[in-house]
Amino acid sequence: ADNTVGLLINQDGADASIELTGNGGIKFPGTQGASSDANTLDDYEEGVDNDIHITPAVDAEHGSYNTMVYTKIGRMVHVQLYYYITTLGSNEGSAYFTLPFTAKDGGSVSVYGPAIYTGTAYAQVLNTSTYGGTLICYVAQNDNKLYLKELTDAGASITIQLEQFADASSVGCSISYPI
């Protein structure tokens, strides 16, 4: 096999580019070497957490299915998770997952948008009489908790409570947020 790797730097007026040939790739150091230049991409990280838990705790969870994967590129984090509840139990409260990074403080007016950052979500066997709208996941600024919220057809916004799930429930979501 040809293991040749090349780096081509092309400077043609305003159309500068860097191209990797062969099996090359960009490698970042294990510890970020932060640059003072805002236009320098100096941080990249991937992670997998196969030991995620919902809070408040459930009686039994299916550990081999419960996974959170994330990719951090610069100041943006992209997260996908899947979680399966085997036995719910009797705990109650707003259901959330702990994220790997705290969301940025967007301030009252910010280029980063609203005070919360939202993503897509789904759930199976969600035990609630009010469900009839769209399920989303969200993280508030300055927080690292991922909550589920229902946006009802009537326009209400309701945070999903743990007791709204049932035995054999599952949830998944995908979100991107600044840090």
d(CA 32, CA 24) in angstroms, rounded, equals 21
pLDDT of residue 114: 54
Altogether, the residues listed in the chain come to a count of 179
pLDDT of residue 176: 94
The count of other CB atoms within 10 Å of the CB of residue 85 is: 24
Q: In which element (H, E) is residue 79 found?
A: strand 76-87
CB atoms within 10 A of CB 158: 15
pLDDT for the residue numbered 51: 85
Q: What angle do CA 157, 173, 148 make, to 5 degrees?
A: 25
Residue written as tokens 């301030």? 107
Given a contact cutoff of 8 angstroms between Cβ atoms, the answer to whether 141 and 101 are in contact is no
Q: Do 95 and 61 form a contact (C-beta atoms < 8 A)?
A: no
Structure tokens at 94: 């707003």
pLDDT tens over the chain, length 179 residues: 566 777 778 777 666 777 777 776 777 767 777 777 777 777 889 999 988 888 988 887 776 789 999 999 988 999 999 999 888 888 899 999 999 999 998 766 455 455 678 888 888 877 554 456 788 899 988 999 999 988 877 878 888 888 888 888 889 999 999 99
Residues near 21 by beta carbon (within 8 Å), at least 6 away in sequence: 4, 5, 6, 7, 8
Predicted pLDDT at 34: 73
